[in-house]
Chain A
Amino acid sequence: MQVSQDMTMARAKASATTVVEARGLDKSFGSVIAVDKADFEIKRGEFISIVGPSGCGKSTLLRMIAGLTPRSGGSLSVNGREVTGPRGDVGVMFQKPTLLEWKTVIENVLLPTALKGRVSEADRSKAQALLNLVGLQDFAHAFPRHLSGGMQQRVALARLLKIGSDILLLDEPFGALDEFTREHLNLELSRIVSDANVTSVFVTHNISEAIFLADKVFVMTPRPGRLAAVVDVPFPRPRELSLLANPDFVDLVARVRDIFSKGETA
């Protein structure tokens, strides 16, 4: 355990630049407080999971970072610049694959590039390389309708990586998939983002998934949506599925679950 602690510390030290910084971040929809005065920092290269039950404001928090939802109060900056709207250094992946059914897989991956201007030959090679990375090398010219739900989300992941932003926001990306596919994709996601050296923020309502993927878990409690705790995850990378049965891992899941039950009694 000591070794892994040191490794985590080393990782944190090597990449200590703050990329996302929130101070007193607020969001209310009418009289409903979705996010109540959140303060947090996200460092470069970190994998953050935001976990909490439905209605705790975790998606709202992510959407504020993405610039898709305006905040009601407080300050929020990404890469040192205040968030005012959607931006190029932040990419978002949604729960639904959001693919265009009239475009082939590779055209879907190239969409972010096509919207910015011309698609070059280099872009096409890059898109093909990303499809290889997500295991879809043979499906470049298939149409989304001919792919399974899991494969469609792989396309969405390749498209997210094609944007080339250094911060990835993932809003329950595998939430609609079955357990087996989800575990498998989580494992791949974990491998891909640590290779790509990007900062990731992953929203989920599944505690063990949140811990399995993350360096730090943001625990949110509902009514009003509040960032209740930030839990460090000490396990080394690369992580294997066997980690799910590790007693330390199970303890950590119980600790996070505890935060929720305390929130309810309070």
Chain B
Amino acid sequence: MSSSANTNETRSWLWRVNPTHAAGHAGLLVGLLVLWETGSRTGLLDPLILPAPTAILAALWQIAVVDRLLWGHFGITLYEAMAGFVIGSAIGIALAIGAALWEPFRRYSAPYVVGLQVTPRIALAPIVIAWLGFGTTPNVAIAALLCFFPPFLNTMTGLLDVDRDLQEMFRSLRASKRQVFTQLMLPTALPYMMAGLKTAMTMALIGAIVGEFISASEGLGVLMHRFTFQLNMAATFAVLVALTLMGLLLFALMEWVDNRIVFWRHDERMQEISRKRAAREAGRAATETPGTARVAPAGRT
């Protein structure tokens, strides 16, 4: 079908581990860890550059369970990334809808959009901090700034990619402009939007961390900074592991949402919906046989 379908499918191979290969994956991981650990123990790897996996694990245990230092910072970074994601994506999608529906806006805003895209937006971080001061606010803003672009571009592309024949069909059925937007353009754009939002989620996390690196008093970025200054590399790597876990959590969340919203790009989910609808229809037919003209509202998933 369209390019966005491919985006979804390429994502799903990353996401899904084929169970027949599970042993291979586990074996490879254990092998690498053992190699790494051996390298550290024999003094081949300098612990100031790359601490042993067991040392990292111990540090993670220390900051997460013994000191309970990690969780507050974890929460702050998660908050910054999520808030930035929501704000950035909302602005991106809103602007994209405006640009898609209103040609002059699209035409006149295009140069600025390109300008903003070619500027390494992360370079705006010090400026944003100078404007907004300290605390979490500038980091939310940086995350929003960094992640706004993919939802914007993908939403606009999706809205403008509506099949011409489908448009003709809607026209022949005398659909209103509003109906064309809500029932044709928006559903067409949804797979694109979701692909953009997935990228945005990753970028929002980058934005939050970079903001924390530059200036903040809380967050995992701050914690990493602090540990590197103390030359506590094991703890630094432990924070990095926590960040990876956060990234994985957010990625899984987006995959789940994608599966729900853009169900027609996921075969298993589609078949599940088909089965449920058929079962409901059968149930309704059974309850309505005694001649009662009860009108059940047409439900949606």
Residues of A within 8 A of B (CB): 66-68, 86-88, 90-92, 94-96, 98, 100-102, 104, 111-112, 115, 119-121, 124, 140-143, 145-146, 163
Residues of B135-188 at the interface with A, using a CB-CB cut-off of 8 Å, are 163, 165-166, 168-175, 179, 183-184, 187
Whether A100 lies near B187 (C-beta < 8 A) is: yes
Q: Provide the main secondary structure of the chain B interface.
A: helix
Instruction: Pick 17 A–B contacts, CB within 8 A, sort by A.
Output: A86-B174, A87-B174, A88-B174, A94-B165, A94-B169, A96-B165, A98-B165, A98-B168, A100-B184, A101-B1, A115-B174, A115-B175, A115-B183, A121-B295, A141-B273, A141-B277, A145-B264
Whether A141 lies near B172 (C-beta < 8 A) is: no
Q: A115-B175, A120-B295, A121-B296 are in contact. Are A98 and B166 (CB under 8 A)?
A: yes
Bound-state Cα–Cα, A121 to B297, Å: 9
In the complex, which of the residues B174, B187, B274 contacts A143, with contact meaning CB atoms closer than 8 Å?
B274
B residues near A120, Cβ cutoff 8 Å: 295
Cβ of A122 to closest chain B Cβ, rounded Å? 9
Whether B173 lies near A163 (C-beta < 8 A) is: yes
Bound-state Cα–Cα, A92 to B270, Å: 28
B residues near A142, Cβ cutoff 8 Å: 274
Whether B264 lies near A143 (C-beta < 8 A) is: yes
B residues near A96, Cβ cutoff 8 Å: 165
Q: A66-B172, A91-B172, A98-B166 are in contact. Are A115 and B179 (CB under 8 A)?
A: yes
Cβ of B168 to closest chain A Cβ, rounded Å? 6
Bound-state Cα–Cα, A142 to B275, Å: 8
A residues near B271, Cβ cutoff 8 Å: 146
Cβ of A16 to closest chain B Cβ, rounded Å? 28
B residues near A145, Cβ cutoff 8 Å: 264, 270
Bound-state Cα–Cα, A140 to B273, Å: 12
Bound-state Cα–Cα, A113 to B107, Å: 37
Q: A86-B174, A101-B264 are in contact. List 5 more A-B contacts (CB 8 A).
A: A98-B163, A98-B165, A98-B168, A115-B174, A121-B295
Best-surrounded residue of A86, A95, A141 (most CB of chain B within 10 A): A141
Cβ of A86 to closest chain B Cβ, rounded Å? 5
B residues near A100, Cβ cutoff 8 Å: 166, 183-184, 187
Bound-state Cα–Cα, A101 to B278, Å: 17
B281 within 8 A of A: yes
1/0 contact trace for B258-287 toward A, CB 8 Å?
000001100000110111011001000000
Whether A143 lies near B168 (C-beta < 8 A) is: no
Nearest 4 Cβ contacts at the A-B interface = A141-B277, A98-B169, A92-B172, A141-B278
Bound-state Cα–Cα, A143 to B265, Å: 11
A residues near B175, Cβ cutoff 8 Å: 115
Bound-state Cα–Cα, A104 to B278, Å: 11
Cβ of A142 to closest chain B Cβ, rounded Å? 5
Q: A102-B264, A141-B277 are in contact. Are A68 and B293 (CB under 8 A)?
A: no
Whether A140 lies near B166 (C-beta < 8 A) is: no
B22 within 8 A of A: no
B17 within 8 A of A: no
B49 within 8 A of A: no
Whether B296 lies near A86 (C-beta < 8 A) is: no
B298 within 8 A of A: yes
In the complex, which of the residues B173, B263, B278 contacts A111, with contact meaning CB atoms closer than 8 Å?
B173
In the complex, which of the residues A87, A98, A115, A146 contacts B270, with contact meaning CB atoms closer than 8 Å?
A146
Bound-state Cα–Cα, A104 to B187, Å: 14
Cβ of B161 to closest chain A Cβ, rounded Å? 13
A residues near B170, Cβ cutoff 8 Å: 115
B residues near A66, Cβ cutoff 8 Å: 172
A residues near B273, Cβ cutoff 8 Å: 104, 141, 143
Whether B264 lies near A68 (C-beta < 8 A) is: no
Whether B281 lies near A68 (C-beta < 8 A) is: no
Cβ of B270 to closest chain A Cβ, rounded Å? 5
Cβ of B58 to closest chain A Cβ, rounded Å? 50
